[in-house]
Structure 1
Amino acid sequence: MRINQYIQGQPCWVELASHDALAGKQFYADLFDWEIQDMPIPGGIYTMFGLTPDQDAASEGGDVIGAAYQMPKEMTERGVPTTWLVYFAVDSVDETVEKVKAEGGSLSMGPCDIGTAGRMAMFIDPEGARFAVWQAGDHIGARRQGEHGTLCWVELASRDPESAKTFYPKVLQWTSQAGDMPEFEYTEWLVGDKPMGGMLQMNQEWGDIPPHWTLYFTVDNCDETVAKARKLGGKECVPPTDIANVGRFAVINDPQGGFFSVITLNSEPNT
């Protein structure tokens, strides 16, 4: 399905900072059948991921769904892992910056304009989870949803869910509700009346892994995608597992150590 607009608070873009962007982008292109378009930027290359354009794509920016770039050497030397970052659409980046600061988060980059594409900023929430926001100009974000290789869900792993349920609604105007997970407590994030993400509480089994956001990509067949990832050099962190009334998911590490989830949904994702 083609997307022409995002509203305040919706996930709108994903971006991979990789220790080896050349190898990393090829892994994802092969895994999800993404197309690759390299764009020169100061200091390197910004790779746009996309799906085969549909009939309506024409000159509207193509069917891009995310991007990747080489992580700066200084970040790699500090031990920052290969990481996926989610961007949320906002009406005003500058107003969001002030809200984040007021609620105990911190600004890690920006705010700044990206040419005529839009305005962005990156943040760290009060627990240390990283996220970004995007105020659209010429570029609204991902152009496709609801099909193989597209983002369908974002999930916060938190050690203090009650704090997160205060922070994110005030910053991004979300609401929350209890999710239908009989085995454990789960929170769903809503924009308007539509769930678009979730949150689970980290326990001792998570060890010293810091709070973080995880991205879920829709796939036609979870098991086949995991097997393909293994052949491409990825690793299975969580094997294909059924989620009652939702679908079948798995967690994968790419060859550079970046993690993400794939899911075959029982029904169409919320859009």
Structure 2
Amino acid sequence: MSTAPVGSVVWSDLTVKNAEDVKDFYAQVIGWQANPINMGDYEDFSMQLPSNNQDVVGICHAKGSNAGLPAQWLLYFKVANLEDSIAQTQARGGQLLSKVKSYGSTSRYIIIQDPAGAVCALFEENT
């Protein structure tokens, strides 16, 4: 993700009640391969290209920190400064749907809802 410019879609994932069944659906429909990600007492999945095992999307259970998320593809947009983007979200009538969460040791994200009701994630990568 580090080479993506600010404003780019850097990831997308789908959160559903039964990620096991849904990952099989997309594996058959699109041709992705499922790579299990241990979440403690269950597994989420990164879906990979069969040609090179590159992760392209995630399919997650609506559990833990994903509980309550709508069943839709969630886009992660890269931002320059997460705090500034959060302030702009609130100032312009958006809502924060999650706390700021860490991704790895250098990145953070938050899930927001825009004034029209659309949901996305803002992703800041610090290198």
TM interval, short-chain normalised: 0.7 to 0.9
Higher normalized contact order (CA 8 Å, seq sep 6+, divided by chain length): 2
Contact kept in structure 1, 2:4 and 2:10, CA below 8 Å = yes
- For structure 1, the residue ranges without an aligned partner over 5 or more in a row are 55-61, 139-271
Q: Report what 1:12 is aligned to.
A: 10
Question: RMSD over aligned Cα, in angstroms?
Answer: 2.4
**% same residue:** 22
Using the size of structure 1 for normalisation, the TM-score is 0.42
Superposed CA deviations along residues 80-124 of structure 1, whole A, max 9, x for unmatched, are 752211111112222211111111111111212123262110001
Q: Report what 1:104 is aligned to.
A: 93
Mark the CA change 1:9 to 1:122 in structure 2 (over 3 Å): closer, same or farther.
Answer: same
Q: Report what 2:63 is aligned to.
A: 72
The separation in 1 between residues aligned to 2:126 and 2:51, in whole angstroms, is 21
- AA matched with 2:124: Q
Contact kept in structure 2, 1:94 and 1:111, CA below 8 Å = no
- For structure 2, the residue ranges without an aligned partner over 5 or more in a row are none
State the 1:28 CA deviation.
0.5
Deviant stretches of 4+, over 4 Å: none
State the 1:53 CA deviation.
4.9
Aligned residues: 125
Which residues of 2 match residues 1-271 of structure 1 at below 5 A? 5-42=3-40, 44-54=42-52, 63-72=54-63, 75=68, 82-116=71-105, 118-136=107-125
The separation in 2 between residues aligned to 1:123 and 1:51, in whole angstroms, is 28
Greater C-alpha Rg: 1
